[in-house]
Structure 1
């Protein structure tokens, strides 16, 4: 693996969506794509000009090769993605009725702390993970505890990423425990309401006082950043003609984290997150075409009034 700025660790699966209308039980044609929170972040970071790597495990099967090829196609280093000869690549189906996962005993579920020994973490500036990984298996939980609990020279970011399909394995106190070990925590207000009984940034901060930075994503309202004991910084979201909301949270995380690594101040970090999220909201893909660079530059530097008046179509 070449030297990278950001390393994203987590499972990515083959994703199937119906290619024709009607009840799911009658659908005969499906479209195969790829889905994974951490690899989404890696793809966006690469698109923003960072040297990004994705670390995971896939099966020695066509789905695993498709997943790895898709992520590599976005300019992400996949040299440390393990190929498991015995376990399959995870698969999930997205339908109007919800999401159904087939990931038990998947290749990624077999990851454990031994994975860390082969990673060049000394040269990495940021490692990004999420609350999905510890829910996959006991060994994945041990991996996360080892990664976040050990002394480190890099920033650790943790997106809570509560998933209804994994809710039996995503214990609220466990997610709080892991988030408390990170340097940057990202959480949706709706997730926090479900997990900890509050969606208000100040109250979430009381639940999570340990991380140096807490970012609360408040959907179409905006996002709030609380650093240390300092005041909350709120930045409203852009108005966007939404095609599909899936993937916007990962895009926001990437935009925010890229701006953090660039040394940008709080407001510009939040705006960078909103701008990257807007690129995902206007497409059905988790990683869609970026907004024009001149538009991004103009909105990052815009006054409050101009920012609030902007609309992405």
Structure 2
């Protein structure tokens, strides 16, 4: 089993993006793409040159084969992706919009990925990585996937690895808001770096101010909290420093995936040894680039593209 830089796990889906604006039921043609918060982060980090491993289950169907092949093309290690003969791969449909957030409909209940459990995964697939990136989505899709989330964090902490956590709240997948808050926070406080949106942070902590949201997690042992503020940028806080980093001005084409782009930037920056402020600035940059293209990961840059965008922004801002 080979070592890698970053490991993550979660559910990927085939995504069908409408070819024109309108209600989904009125659309005749769609373009197929890959969807999934963890696969977005895997793709983004791989394009920046990091060795990525993604762990999951897919069905023995066309969608599952598509997901595996798409990630292989991005140089993501999929050796720990298991094909399940019993359950299908999930998919989703997404509308095309000229402004605002697109409509997304999910078809994921009873998916192969939702059946993943600790018994399916050799923990060495996790601990041979330097860093674990986790989101709150696996914990929401099933009890067994939730159990794997906690086991993965436990194994990585025991191995002395760093851990990032993007809360990625999916209220519709939980039986209650209270259950969601309890479990997501239980995962978050075991991470080194926590990346909530300001609205998510308010729901999880009860505080509306980004400074108080950050303090909530810092008081519980987290080393860095970066709160996403939307187009305004992001607020970061550690035990010794804090600040707001301005966002990048771009024309948004598709807002889905901005948070995953932000995670790619922050994680890559910190693993590259950048100062926290510069890592958050990189997060803002990749989050901005992510919304300039249709699809969840199509706008994620290579290092060369990222450098060109950030250098141009320094000149124009």
Query: What TM-score do you get using the length of structure 1 for normalisation?
Result: 0.89
Name which of 223, 231, 234 aligns with 1:212. 223
Distance 1:109 1:248, change over 3 A: same
Matching of residues 211-250 of structure 1 within 5 Å: 211-227=222-238, 229-250=239-260
SS in 2 for 1:282: coil
Distance between the aligned counterparts of 1:25 and 1:250, measured in 2? 28
Distance between the aligned counterparts of 2:46 and 2:195, measured in 1? 20
Are 1:9 and 2:19 counterparts?
no
Matching of residues 273-288 of structure 1 within 5 Å: 273-288=283-298
Distance 1:291 1:84, change over 3 A: closer
Distance between the aligned counterparts of 2:296 and 2:72, measured in 1? 15
Q: RMSD across aligned C-alpha pairs, in angstroms? A: 2.4
Distance 1:235 1:109, change over 3 A: same
Name which of 143, 148, 157 aligns with 2:153. 148
Distance 1:291 1:142, change over 3 A: closer
Aligned to 1:175: 184
Would you say the 8 A contact 1:279–1:288 is kept in 2?
no
Are 1:192 and 2:190 counterparts?
no
- Structure 2 gaps of 5+ residues are none
Name which of 113, 116, 123 aligns with 1:111. 116
Are 1:66 and 2:66 counterparts?
yes
**What whole-Å deviation, never above 9, does each CA across 1:205-256 have from its counterpart, x for those lacking one?**
24322211111111111112212x2231321111112222211111110111
Distance 1:295 1:93, change over 3 A: closer
Are 1:253 and 2:253 counterparts?
no
**What whole-Å deviation, never above 9, does each CA across 1:12-54 have from its counterpart, x for those lacking one?**
1011222344433333333222100001001100111111111
TM superposition shift of 1:181: 1.1
Would you say the 8 A contact 1:160–1:186 is kept in 2?
yes
SS in 2 for 1:125: strand
**What whole-Å deviation, never above 9, does each CA across 1:30-85 have from its counterpart, x for those lacking one?**
32221000010011001111111111110000000111111221121111111111
**Number of equivalences:** 305
Aligned to 2:48: 48
Range moving further from structure 2, 126-135 or 116-125: 116-125
SS in 2 for 1:120: helix
**What whole-Å deviation, never above 9, does each CA across 1:75-111 have from its counterpart, x for those lacking one?**
2111111111111101122237732222122111111
Higher relative contact order (CA 8 A, sep 6+): 2
SS in 2 for 1:187: coil
Would you say the 8 A contact 1:100–1:165 is kept in 2?
no
Matching of residues 123-134 of structure 1 within 5 Å: 123-134=128-139
Would you say the 8 A contact 1:256–1:269 is kept in 2?
yes
SS in 2 for 1:117: coil
Distance between the aligned counterparts of 1:105 and 1:25, measured in 2? 23
Would you say the 8 A contact 2:7–2:132 is kept in 1?
yes
Aligned to 2:91: 91
SS in 1 for 2:194: strand
Distance 1:167 1:120, change over 3 A: closer
TM superposition shift of 1:177: 1.1
SS in 2 for 1:15: strand
Are 1:201 and 2:210 counterparts?
yes
Range moving further from structure 2, 217-226 or 35-44: 217-226
